[in-house]
Structures are given as structure tokens and as C-alpha cells.
Amino acid sequence: MPLRLVFLGSDPIALPLLDWLAGEGRVVAKIVAVFTQPDRPVGRGQKVQPNTIKTWALDHGLPVHQPERLMADARTLLAELAPDVSLVMAYGHILHEDFIAAARLGTLNLHASLLPKYRGASPIQTAVASGEHETGVSLMRIVRELDAGPVAGRERVAIEPNDTALDVEARLAAASVTLLARALPRLAAGTLAFTEQEHAAATFCRRLTKDDGALDFSAPAAALAARINGLFPWPACAAEVAGQPIKFGLADIVAPVADRGSGNTTAPGTVLGADGAGLLVAAGAEVLRVLRLQRPGGKMLPAAEFLRGFPVAAGTMLPSRPLPVLVANEPFRHR
């Protein structure tokens, strides 16, 4: 008999996993209810809309519960559902002890990092923004401490050059299916083994804000390109050009400034011109090449197309702002 599974999630990254559970995976587990965040205002018009997880659940005829907070009534409801397992992926609520304990086989979480690295709220963006070449998804048992539970398995994913957080998220969504398809039958059979994390090696990330899009052009170009790619599509890095905040959607690096004949005295943040692929900007080391840009109210465009409608002259100085810290060796305090 399939396991009775309650799913808790609010982000589109879980959609491939839900599709698998509703299809091939239903021989192992049956979703009996979905918990997700309440409907929120979305977009410029701030129209209240359901998230994609709620829409998916309703399309599949599943009960949906959207508590603003996980108070006693929500915990009682979960207990009444009598799940064999609760599965969490990008839910957005901290779970209480009795909520965690409600499922017979426990509450499991699919966390989008190779734990113990990048515990916290933004593991995908932070891994890319930190210049990692690999990340992954971990299946862990939830405990009260942040993302510190024992791990039953990991699925690794490469971060390729010029990957944005959006690219890596799609890869991790697929990897989550592979990992769960391997783990659920073992959970049902009682043979799924959990191993404690190496807590001393833990690193932590935090919830991102709009202020995290700041760029300091005195930093190495490789660090800036990683930051730009990791924070796309949100909060997106930006710099002021001609009084307008211009978003950067993709970047890489090219030859060092000295190799381009500009000398080592070129101030960081100076626009050096453009090549066929992007806008060239002097950085602390090498040259940052911005491959996609967006003006306020416009679309994100390839650099050549953007620059035809919004020229940026060589010698233009892009102002720097300090790079916000994204990673720490202990949990961040709420900002």
C-alpha cells in the first residue's frame, strides 16, 4: 500500500517532484493533502493570486491548506490526516515539534544544497553567487535546528559557466525527483539510513533582499560575474547608468585590463566599451563582461540589443556599493 504523504511547499522548484509523485511515484506514495503559503499580491498590479503549488494541487483534486501561521489548529489538522510521511520543499514556515512529529515515519526535507553547506533560505542563489562549481539537493530529516537534521542521501548537480540561479534551480528540481525516487521505496521498507551531518563544516545563507543587488567593482571580475549570475532573476544586481538603475542579468569575464591595452590604472567601474557579446567594465582583476541588461520598465535583453537603444559610452563610470555578505559560519540574525 502506498505511503500516505502530506506535501508542504510553496515554490515552483517542487513541481517536477509533484508531477512524479502524481505519476510514476504514486505506486510508492499517495499525496493526501498539500500545505502551502497563503495567496499573496503578485506583480505590478499587486493582484492577489495563488502560488503555483496551490494551482497544481487544485488541478489534481487535492485538499489544500494555507495557514498564515502553523498554530494549534493547523497542527491538529495535520495529525488528523494521519500521514506516514510529511515531505517539505521550500515551504517558508518553521515547523513546530508536534508538527514535525505528526507523521509516522517522520518529516523529511529536500534542501537545495549539499549539506552541511549553505543551510538557510537561499542556497541556490548563494552557491552560484559564491562561484561554486557544484551544488546539489539533500534529503534530510527535519529537526528544530536550522537544516541540521541527519541526511539520507544527496544528488549532485554541476554549476556550469554562465549558469544563473534559474538554470541551476531547474537542474536541482530534476535532481530532487531522482533522489526521492531512490529514497521513498527504502523509507517504506524501513531500510532508509540517515547519517549525521558534519556540523563543524556547516555554512549558512540567508533570505535575500533587494539591497543584495549591490556591486563593488573593485572586487575581482570573477566574483562580480558569479554574484550577477547567482542573483538572477531576483533580486538582480544593478548599477546606476545615466541616472537609471540598470539590471545585469548575465555576466562573464574576459582578458585582464592590461592585456586589453588599457593599463593597470583604469579605475574599477570604468566602462571600457563593448565587444560583440557584452558591455566591458574594469574590475579589481580582469574585465567584467555584462551579457544581458535591462532598463527600468524594459525587458532583459542581450547586451548588443540593449546598447543599440541605450548606448553606454566608454569612460562612463559605474558607481560601486559594498558587496553584501551572503555566507557565514553561523546562522544570520533576521535582517
pLDDT in tens, the chain (335 residues): 999 999 999 999 999 999 999 999 999 999 999 999 999 988 777 888 999 999 999 999 999 999 988 888 888 899 899 999 999 999 988 898 888 999 999 999 999 999 999 999 999 999 999 999 999 999 999 998 999 999 999 999 999 999 999 999 999 999 999 999 999 999 999 999 999 999 999 999 999 999 999 999 999 999 999 999 999 999 999 999 989 999 999 999 997 645 444 445 789 999 999 998 999 999 998 999 999 999 999 999 999 999 999 999 999 999 999 999 999 999 998 65
Q: Give a yes or no: residue 325 inside a domain.
A: no
Taking each helix axis as running N to C, give the angle between helix 15-22 and helix 165-189, from 0 to 180 degrees, rounded to the nearest 10. Answer: 40
User: Is the domain of 83 the same as that of 196?
Assistant: yes
User: Is the domain of 229 the same as that of 192?
Assistant: no
Q: Give a yes or no: residue 320 inside a domain.
A: no
pLDDT recorded at residue 10: 96
User: Is the domain of 266 the same as that of 241?
Assistant: yes
pTM (two decimals): 0.94
pLDDT recorded at residue 72: 83
pLDDT recorded at residue 255: 76
Q: In 90-190, where do the E strands start and end?
A: 107-111, 134-141, 151-158
Q: Which phi and psi (to 5°) does residue 166 adopt?
A: -65, -40
Q: Give a yes or no: residue 316 inside a domain.
A: no
End-to-end CA distance of the chain: 46
User: Is the domain of 87 the same as that of 176?
Assistant: yes
134-141 β-sheet, strand order: 64-65, 29-35, 3-9, 85-89, 107-111, 134-141, 151-158
User: Is the domain of 219 the same as that of 152?
Assistant: no
User: Is the domain of 181 the same as that of 248?
Assistant: no
pLDDT recorded at residue 45: 77
Residue whose C-alpha cell is 535546528: 145
CATH number at residue 57: 3.40.50.170
Q: How many domains does the chain have?
A: 2
Q: Which phi and psi (to 5°) does residue 330 adopt?
A: -145, 160
pLDDT recorded at residue 269: 97
User: Is the domain of 54 the same as that of 136?
Assistant: yes
**One-letter identity of residue 134:** E
Q: Give a yes or no: residue 321 inside a domain.
A: no
User: Is the domain of 265 the same as that of 159?
Assistant: no
Q: Give a yes or no: residue 9 inside a domain.
A: yes
Domain range spanning residue 46? Answer: 3-201
User: Is the domain of 43 the same as that of 60?
Assistant: yes
pLDDT recorded at residue 37: 95
User: Is the domain of 37 the same as that of 181?
Assistant: yes
Q: Give a yes or no: residue 328 inside a domain.
A: no
Q: Give a yes or no: residue 81 inside a domain.
A: yes
pLDDT recorded at residue 141: 97
pLDDT recorded at residue 91: 95
pLDDT recorded at residue 260: 47
